[in-house]
Amino acid sequence: MEYRIVHHKLQFIKAAKTSRNVFTTRDIRYVLLTKNGVTGIGEAAPLYKLSIDDVDDYDIKLNEVCKQLCENTPLLDIDLAKYPSIRFGLETAMHDLVNGGKRILFDTPFVQGNSIPINGLVWMADLDDMYDEAIAKIGQGYSCIKFKVGQHDFDAECRFLERIRTLHNAFNLEIRLDANGAFLADEAAIQLKELSRFDIHSIEQPIHVNQWDDMARLCRDSKIDIALDEELIGIDVYEKGEALVNHIQPQYLILKPNLIGGFKVSDKWIELCEKHRLGWWATSALESNIGLNAIAQWVSQYETTMPQGLGTGSLYSNNVEGPLQIINCAIHYGQTKWDLSEIV
Of 17, 256, 275, 337, which is the active-site residue?
256
Same domain, 149 and 287: yes
Q: What values do phi and psi take at 180, rounded to 5?
A: 50, 40
Same domain, 94 and 114: no
User: Is 315 a member of any domain?
Assistant: yes
User: Is 104 a member of any domain?
Assistant: no
Sequential pLDDT tens for the chain (344 residues): 999 999 999 999 988 888 778 899 999 999 999 999 999 999 999 999 899 999 999 999 999 999 999 999 999 999 999 999 999 999 999 999 999 999 999 999 999 999 999 999 999 889 999 999 999 999 999 999 999 999 899 999 999 999 999 999 999 999 999 999 999 999 999 999 999 999 999 999 999 999 999 999 999 999 999 999 999 999 999 999 999 999 999 999 999 999 999 999 999 999 999 999 999 999 999 999 999 999 999 999 999 889 999 999 999 999 999 999 999 999 999 999 999 998 88
Q: Is-contact 86 62, C-beta < 8 A?
A: yes
Single residue among 78, 98, 118 that ends a domain in this structure = 98
Distance of alpha carbon 309 from alpha carbon 326, whole angstroms: 12
User: Is 202 a member of any domain?
Assistant: yes
- Domain harbouring 309, CATH code: 3.20.20.120
Single residue among 56, 79, 98 that ends a domain in this structure = 98
Same domain, 166 and 27: no
User: Is 341 a member of any domain?
Assistant: no
Same domain, 157 and 192: yes
Same domain, 144 and 281: yes
- Each residue of 30-86: pLDDT tens digit? 999 999 999 999 999 999 989 999 999 999 999 999 999 999 999 999 999 999 999
Of 102, 148, 240, 275, which is the active-site residue?
148
- Domain harbouring 33, CATH code: 3.30.390.10
State the pLDDT at residue 49.
87
Single residue among 98, 118, 150 that ends a domain in this structure = 98
User: Is 186 a member of any domain?
Assistant: yes
Same domain, 75 and 157: no
Q: Is-contact 8 38, C-beta < 8 A?
A: no
- Domain membership of residue 53 as a residue range: 2-98
* Count: domains in the chain: 2
Entry pTM: 0.96
Return the half-sphere exposure (C-beta side, CA atoms, 13 A cut-off) of residue 247: 13
**Could you please report the per-residue DSSP string of 32-89?**
EEEETTEEEEEEE-PPTTTSTT-STTHHHHHHHHHHHHHTT--GGGS--TT-HHHHHH
Strands 252-255, 2-17: pairing kind = unpaired
For residue 148, indicate whether it is catalytic: yes
Same domain, 150 and 295: yes
Same domain, 35 and 174: no
**Order of strands across the sheet with 330-333?**
116-117, 330-333, 324-327
Same domain, 117 and 262: yes
Longest dimension (CA), the chain: 61
For residue 264, indicate whether it is catalytic: no
User: Is 275 a member of any domain?
Assistant: yes
- Each residue of 145-180: pLDDT tens digit? 999 999 899 999 999 999 999 999 999 999 999 999
User: Is 338 a member of any domain?
Assistant: no
